[in-house]
Amino acid sequence: MALSFCGNDRGSNAYSVDKGVLDNGCFVDALNLVPHVFLLFITFPILFIGWGSQSSKVQIHHNTWLHFPGHNLRWILTFTLLFVHVCEIAEGIVSNTQMESNHLHLFLPALMGFIAATTSVVYYHNIETANFPKLLLALFIYWILAFITKMIKLWKFAEASLGVQYLRFCITALLVVLYGLLMAVEINVIRVRKYVFFANPQRVKPPEDLQDLGVRFLQPFVNLLSKATYWWMNPLIIGAHKRPIELKKIGKLPIAMRALTNYIRLKDSYDEQRQKTEDPEKSPSIWKSMYRAFGGPILLSSTFRYMADLLGFAGPLCISGITANMTFGVFFMSSTELLKNTSVLAVLLFLALVLQRTFLQASYYVTIETGINLRGALLAMIYNKILRLSTSNMSMGEMTLGQINNLVAIETNQLMWFLFLCPNLWAMPVQIIMGVILLYYLLGDSALIGAGVILLLAPVQYLIATKLADTQKSTLDYSTDRLKKTTEILKGIKLLKLYAWENIFCDRVEETRGKELTSLKTFALYTSMSIFMNAAIPIAAVLATFVTHAYIEEVRLSPAKAFASLALFHILVTPLFLLSTVVRFAVKALVSVQKLSEFLQSDEIGDDSWRNGEMYMSLEVGKKYKYHGDVSTKAINRKGRYRMDNYEQPMRRQLRPTETEDVAVQVNDGFFTWGSNLSTLTDINIRIPTGQLTMIVGQVGCGKSSLLLAMLGEMQTISGKVYWSNGPVYKNRYSVAYAAQKSWLLNATVEENITFGSPFNKQRYKAVIDACSLQPDIDLLPFGDQTEIGERGINLSGGQRQRICVARALYQNTNIVFLDDPFSALDIHLSDHLMQEGILKFLQDDKRTLVLVTHKLQYLIHADWIIAMKDGSVLREGTLKDIQTHDVELYEHWKTLMNRQDQELEKTEMESQTTLERKTLRRAFYSREAKNQIDDEDEEEEVEEDDDDNMSTTTSRRSKIQWKMCCRYLSSGGFLMVFLMVSSKLAKHSVMVAIDYWLAAWTSSNPFLGVLQHRSYVPVFIILCGAAIALCLITSLTVEFLGVAAATNLHHNLLNKIIHAPIRFFDVTPLGQILNRFSADTNIIDQHIPPTLESLTRSTLLCLSAIGVIAFVTPAFLIALVPLAVAFYFIQKYFRVASKDLQDLDDSTQLPLLCHFSETAEGLTTIRAFRHEARFKQRMLELTDTNNTAYLFLSAANRWLEVRTDYLGAVIVLTAAVAAIWSTSQSGLVGLGLTYALTVTNYLNWVVRNLADLEVQMAAVKKVNSFLSTESENYEGSMDVSQVPEDWPQHGEIKIHDLCVRYDTMLKPVLKHVNAHINPGQKVGICGRTGSGKSSLSLAFFNMVDVFEGKIVIDGIDICKLPLQTLRSRLSIILQDPVLFSGSIRLNLDPERTCTDDRLWEALEIAQLKNIVKALPGGLDAVVTEGGENFSVGQRQLFCLARAFVRKSSILIMDEATASIDMATENILQKVVMTAFADRTVVTIAHRVHTILTADLVIVMKRGSIMEYGKPEILMEQEDGLFASFVKADM
């Protein structure tokens, strides 16, 4: 009986029970088997039956529902139990080797206990998810039995007076405690759930989140093991391989994490702070309110962090233990002896690492979740504040849109990041102090020198970090400036090309880019310094420590101490490096909070009683009010009480009986201001009659719009009152339909913009669209009224936008409609149509009260009531009749103005501005449809969706990192830099390994050598360390400057390509897409790729060198490496795909959120007039939650990866340690191997994270690269510049031979076989309907379109042969949209700086601008703002005329230049053309036929060919001719 349970020793009677049954130790051990066997017998059948019926679970979510109390405690206790069982087994096996024969009872019960404990936890998990509490009884009985049997064993030990010094006693005692605690947990479940021994068991419902299948973020609801390892994420991350993760897949947030919940938490604590501060001037502290709302989780996270940090020190200590005990034969099983056993130490090291990593990831996760919650709350707070900002704040520029966008995009993120990093603030000092103490314990005084080096260099690092932040700021300023200039170029690209100015403006951008690059180089320098410091500090510290140790200590350095301290130095570096970052973030966070609190303290709009109603409802915070099935947003009034901003507003104040019902709004003695103390509107007494049309007229700037806003409560009231009457309540009257003067659209579909949250009613919608004549415009859009407009969609012209805004006001079902100058951007036809159909018919039929601000006096006859204003006060009020009788003077004045307007009417253009706007739209689209050759990312994506069914192709497509793009990027950096980078990196890592190897050789050398021989190792050590430090510097510099070189080249090529692209490219490629290349993508290439690249190469090389060293020390390790490598490969493969998807989701959900904020800030007055605050808040909360969900999943995926790579790292350490123990190598080398194994754990996940990041960032290079393949225009021409006469074209004679023109080789021709001959000095008019090819002809003169047949000969030279620069610089053109650039007036007239001042003044005089410019500060150097906003449209058009005049060319082309200007300006233009350009050839493309009646020659075009050609007088005589019909229509 070699294997008998109680052993088979000679002379011992193992099976006798003479002294009493319980006194036989073996019997007690056998008794211990009983409970374990009992549990296995009971649970196995239940488990198998349960697993059979597993599939019939009703709802997916309930299997994550944990509803037994004491859940987490039970898991923790079970894990401890398993650990103690392992110790017990180990102890048993070791003791067994001391016996003569095998004693199974020493370890078999422990083994069974281990199996039973594992079973218990599996069993428990299945019962819990299936919700069968009765089955818990089995476990309850097991704990009781196990407790009793262990108790007996402990009692017997105590009787035999075996005490704590024996390990077996300690283990048994621990087990008794654990079983007792588990018993208590079971009793607690019975107490709470009453599932047995009680008559009525408690019924439980799953939490709301789990009932809702939309909630996919299960972290808060899964069991402890799954929480720690993110096991629940597996299906998502592995599934990402098959098909991309979409928004549907990540569902919505659990209630506790939604923005609304957190907003209420933060708001409550903020209001508490506000009540506490007596001093109203002092703002409530945001820090305190953040702590009150989110302090708990942060403390929890910090606890985890401390545990992780303390466990982190186990690594070096275990290394020292294993290295020191590489001598064998320790078998006295006292408690301390166990810790000297190297195998035990290896296992302990493994467990410590696993636990440390688990705690660390838990700590990260908790802070991230809290940070996201905080961000949601802050965004909601800012948004609520925006909705209540006073208008004067916005318009007087105290709060610009930019500031608000910064608050949303930057400040909230700063605070979120600060929260992520804040546990580090208090964890790091502890870590550093502990580390220094341990070092001192290992090495004595010399350790302090090493620590001193580290501490001395830390401030330098902080200095570098602050410098980095400053440089980043200046870089940002330059890049904003560069972007502004680029945007201008792209917007005015047509003009720049026509004037051949593109290179001049391109140089302006390059100049700014130069400044940006200088600042980028400083940035690169500081970054490389910071990287260098990180790498060099530990080397320097190690050098200082070991060299001093060699000289001051008499004792030789043992390998155990050397490598433990080496590992400690590695541990110390991280907190020191991070500390500088954290401190920097803390400083930023302080600034952000300062800005936030200023913003939250800024002025709010007056709480006029009529505005909010005088009823407040106090609400309990948690209650949810429903409207439209949504959770309503609780708007919080400034008084701190909760009030519902529901659609049905409380009643407005009751009227005094004296006031009649037929007044809708009345203002008494009103004095209103825009925030300064000067009143803008003085002494206003007006009434707006109900159900009638009131018009407000007056000159520009007399306060008409302000009056509307004052009635809406947007202005600050100095004195006086605004009364609103209550119309019939059923019309939902508490909102005013308001169309502002500056049109404001949402980034949504056309239909959503018009219905604006009201229910869709087809008839009404149709009527509104007809009234605003929007149908033709809608037909042009690619998806009809479902087309997205705004930043992400299509840009409409001013008139179209304005009509949509008016349509929105008409569509709303409100009693009162305010229209602020709706006709300003419309031409005559449309305004008449709108007046007749929309205002007179549609609104009057509904008996709605309408207030109309207008300049068109001819409509006054329709008004029921007129308010005439002048200089901020009311001049007259009454009907037209009253004014006719009482104020004759005013009436006469109006009459003369009206006559003038009527004359204008007579000359109404035949092809109105609207048709023209429609034309631009049509051009944009038909060009888009025809074009398939530009490789647009969207198209690639469509292709991707098609092969979704074909699994293999998608997988391969999505998992490839773009190596081609990497090569492309590196080659942009230059081959020398790449070579330098690679060679220096390799050299650096080799030297680093050499240092450690030398250290191993030194410490393992023969201990009996003298001190001098030991010191002989020092010089080599010093040389190696010096070399390593130098190489660190070189590598960090090369990587960063490689990045700068690549960025320089890529941007330069991109800019040149795009500026020289044919005009067609700009018709087809959306402006936003081009701009993205210059903003986001360039920014990534400039600032993000270099550090990622650096980090990736560094961590990869570190991992490789570590694995190399371990394999060198213990070759057996290579066998274990194979499965580990396979596991690592799969983890990174799945993670990279999922991470890329989640990153895209995060980016794509962030944009709408930021857009929504800026939209709201722009359209404040409209939103408030409509009283739609609640709807917008709801939308904001939804957008925030969506973005937060994506971000949460992204960070959870990162944790998923890190937990897995960390566990892999721990396994590597374990295998390395075990291999080292079993092989008999030098103790110094073992220490070396283990130190390296420990570093692997830190770097494995960085490899994967950086790979994933680089993949995302390389997409930017790819996008930029796709634009680099566009073809440029052919600038050369076949003639040499020297062959062209200096003064060509001298005469201005134009011959057109058989000309055929198309926009693109794929498209149909737009001009077919056109022939014409224009004599020098002739004034030619070209007319025709939209799309007849007039503008195309004008572009053909400049060779801007593809001339594929025929030719244009100007003064004897075929223009197609000329170099473009020459051709375009010798002709001049005035476009229909005036384009001005920011800069000076001089720059706009003559960017080439070739003309004298007199010439410029002369040009300005001709264009009637001289006096205006003289009046400006700086004269010719006066500032022109972006897009020329500081001049009116008419003035801008005149500047363009001056520009054409400055260029003394003998041919001038005017492309519908008079379309957007008023009569007066047009007359000036006509005169100038007749006088100043008397001797030049002028080709006018006409819009209003009467402008070309005086021309020498008229060309009438139709469908791309010439229909009529001749003098206007002759053409007029042909009754049925086209020209005659045009003129008739125009009269």
Residue 318: name the closest of 570, 569, 571, 563 by CA. Answer: 563
330 forms beta bridges with: none
Q: What six digits make up the tokens of 1311?
A: 């001009």
Q: Cis omega (within 30 of 0) on the bond before 1289?
A: yes
Give CA–CA dist 871/355, Å, rounded. Answer: 76
Give CA–CA dist 368/361, Å, rounded. Answer: 10
CA triple 604-607-610, angle to 5 deg: 145
Intervals of the chain under pLDDT 50: 1, 54-60, 327-332, 396-397, 608-660, 727-733, 792, 906-911, 926-959
Give CA–CA dist 435/256, Å, rounded. Answer: 39
**Alpha-carbon separation of residue 1247 from 1101, 1238, 1252 (angstroms):** 10, 15, 9
CB 62 within 8 A of CB 160: no
- Residue the block writes with tokens 């296992």: 347
Backbone angles phi, psi at 943, to 5 degrees: -60, -40
Sign of torsion over alpha carbons 66, 72, 74, 78: positive
Task: Burial-class residue 1144 by CB neighbours within 10 Å (0-12, 13-18, 19+).
Answer: middle
DSSP secondary structure of 1048-1100: HHHHHHHHHHHHTS-HHHHHHS-HHHHHHIIIIIHHIIIIIHHHHHHHHHHHH
pLDDT at 9: 65
Give me the amino acid identity at 898: M
Give CA–CA dist 676/673, Å, rounded. Answer: 7
Element (H, E) at 685: strand 679-689
DSSP annotation of 285: P
CB 912 within 8 A of CB 828: yes
Q: What six digits make up the tokens of 594?
A: 């300062």
Backbone angles phi, psi at 1506, to 5 degrees: -85, 125
**Alpha-carbon separation of residue 891 from 275, 672, 881, 883, 1180 (angstroms):** 59, 28, 10, 7, 50
**Alpha-carbon separation of residue 522 from 470, 474, 617, 994, 1418 (angstroms):** 10, 10, 58, 33, 36
pLDDT at 918: 62
Give CA–CA dist 274/280, Å, rounded. Answer: 8
- Torsion, Cα 620 626 631 632, to 10 degrees, reads -70
CB 854 within 8 A of CB 862: no
pLDDT at 336: 62
User: Could you report how far apart the first and last alpha carbons of the chain are, in Å?
Assistant: 125
pLDDT at 542: 87
Q: What six digits make up the tokens of 616?
A: 């407040």
CB 157 within 8 A of CB 23: no
For 663-674, write each residue's pLDDT tens digit.
Answer: 888 888 888 887
Give me the amino acid identity at 525: L
Neighbouring residues of 235: CB distance < 8 A, sequence distance ≥ 6: none
Backbone angles phi, psi at 970, to 5 degrees: -65, -40
- CB burial of 1148-1160 (b: ≥16 within 10 Å; e: otherwise) equals ebbebbebbbbbb
pLDDT at 639: 33
- Residue the block writes with tokens 């220094």: 436
Give CA–CA dist 1488/1485, Å, rounded. Answer: 9
Q: What six digits make up the tokens of 273?
A: 């702070």
CB 825 within 8 A of CB 799: yes
- Torsion, Cα 969 973 976 981, to 10 degrees, reads -70
Chain-centroid distance, C-alpha 403: 17
Give me the amino acid identity at 1414: K
Backbone angles phi, psi at 1200, to 5 degrees: -55, -50
